Homo-oligomer: A and B are copies of this chain.
């Protein structure tokens, strides 16, 4: 007799992994787990082929995947081959940027989100024991913003400031996300700063920072955050005009 088949749900297309994916996954795991150290060389293509029992094209497809994830870099020539690499936020930023382009996210939207992160860092920092020294070291960075330096250098200083801010704040996740967002709008940031040059020398920026840092050092994180956010909103108002209605897709040189 034939037992009638049980009713099935609508159909769920299972993804059959291709050889390259499987191989890439295996290598990825080894790297992430630390079994292959950063900078260490992987076996040669020939060895990996026999190890995984796959042909060269399949192995190379796996390499391309891992390369696009910046997990490996491949060099040719003698003593060449694949080496494990430390991935950075640029990859995550690329994908987030992609998603944002699909969603037609506006630049102003990204800047808004970014400016909401900074107060979070201030709050966290104000809760830490080393807040006084932290605030001081941050002000040291800001001190480098002497009048007359060019936009490029200014951006570097600001970058270092924020990296250090989130670093001291102590939440690595926030730090990563902020870094990713910054990477997404990196070009626009530079533009904004260049434009700012035309506007003013903005010496009162330092005062803003100093006041916020003092609040942090006093452990008054909420006030620091509020103050910072209000100041940022003022800046945003300016930047918004420049980025009004612009989406990421307009801004991206699209990896060209």
Q: Which residues of A contact B (CB under 8 A)?
A: 18, 20-21, 24-25, 28-29, 32-33, 57, 60-62, 64-65, 67-69, 71, 86-89, 91-92, 95-96, 98-103, 105, 109-110, 112-114, 116, 120, 171-174, 176-177, 180-181, 222, 226, 249, 254-256
Contact = CB atoms under 8 A, between A and B. Distances in A.
14 contacts: A21-B68, A29-B254, A29-B255, A33-B249, A57-B60, A61-B61, A61-B64, A71-B98, A92-B96, A92-B99, A96-B177, A113-B171, A173-B181, A177-B181
B171 A112 contact: yes
Contacts of A255: 25, 28-29
A166 to B, nearest CB: 11
A180 to B, nearest CB: 8
Nearest to A254: B29
Contact of A32 (B60, B87, B102): B102
Contacts of A28: 98, 255
Contacts of A21: 64, 67-68
A61 B180 CA distance: 27
B32 A113 contact: no
A255 B31 CA distance: 13
Contacts of A20: 64
A95 B69 contact: yes
Contact of A87 (B92, B102, B171): B102
Contacts of A222: 226
A62 B57 CA distance: 12
A100 B65 contact: no
A29 B69 contact: no
A101 B32 contact: yes
A32 B68 contact: no
Given A29-B254, A68-B68, A249-B32, A173 B98 contact: no
